[in-house]
Amino acid sequence: MNHYMLLSVHFIMLGISLAVPVGPIKLEMIRRGFSDGFWPSWLVGLGAVSADFIFMLFVLLGLSPFLHYSAVQIAMLSIGILLIGYLGTTSIKSAFSSKALLLFNNNTSNKNPFWTGFIIALMNPYNFMFWFGVYGGALQSIPSSSGEIIKIGLSLCILAGIILWNLNVAFTVNFFRSLVNETVIRWVTGFAGVGLIGFSGFLLYKLITLT
């Protein structure tokens, strides 16, 4: 097999490995998928991939030092704490509300799923560490004789891996959505909310240690 084909598979698997862990993006995708269906869940993932693309461009263009400034990191963490904390609180309130969550034509909670995923991913320090740590190291595995087109193509393979896994999550959750009842939806929504608030607390800890 061609060396670049092997590298392509390696970079796709690297993207999948980034997408597999259950963090705030996956929790929001699962919550939206169970309550609203495939498209809101998928749009959250697509928004997250768009943020990943921006991080990738920063590294490729040599702009990553800008994001290492303390003021930039504090701003990103602060926004992340507020947004993820808000989503977590809203999820818990929904789990205990009297309103039915299992509505197949429910558009009330579908507002801005793309931008929700985008902002969560943009403010996630794990994404920050991956793109400026692991991804930067992965670029070193590309032969120095390779042109910029090859580097960009292999980098896009990482995004392809993330997209594949996000599609898997959205399809899987949407499939099981038809097999569960209102009680299960409430439990999933509640647990997702607790997870989001927990992650918000972790970001708060990172902010305190940073300042």
List, for residues 111-165, the tens digit of each pLDDT value: 689 999 998 898 877 787 778 777 877 877 787 777 788 888 999 999 999 999 9
182/35 Cα distance (integer angstroms) = 9
189 lies in some domain:
no
Position 7 pLDDT exceeds 90: no
Please tell me which residue, 137 or 8, carries the higher pLDDT value.
8
Q: Could you report the per-residue pLDDT of 17-69, keeping only the tens digit for each?
A: 888 877 889 888 988 888 888 999 999 999 999 999 998 988 888 776 776 67
pLDDT at 104: 41
29 lies in some domain:
yes
207 lies in some domain:
no
24 lies in some domain:
yes
pLDDT at 103: 53
Position 182 pLDDT exceeds 60: yes
pLDDT at 110: 52
pLDDT at 107: 46
Q: Could you report the per-residue pLDDT of 62-121, keeping only the tens digit for each?
A: 776 776 678 877 887 888 788 888 888 887 887 887 776 655 444 444 568 999 999 889
93 lies in some domain:
no
pLDDT at 40: 92
190 lies in some domain:
no
Count the domains in the chain.
1
Please tell me which residue, 185 or 107, carries the higher pLDDT value.
185
**Which of 46, 41, 16, 43 shows the shortest CA–CA distance to 29?**
41
64 lies in some domain:
yes
Burial 170-181 (b: 16+ CB within 10 A, else e): beebbeebeeee
203 lies in some domain:
no
pLDDT at 191: 85
Position 205 pLDDT exceeds 60: yes
145/89 Cα distance (integer angstroms) = 51
Domain that holds residue 118: 3-69+98-181
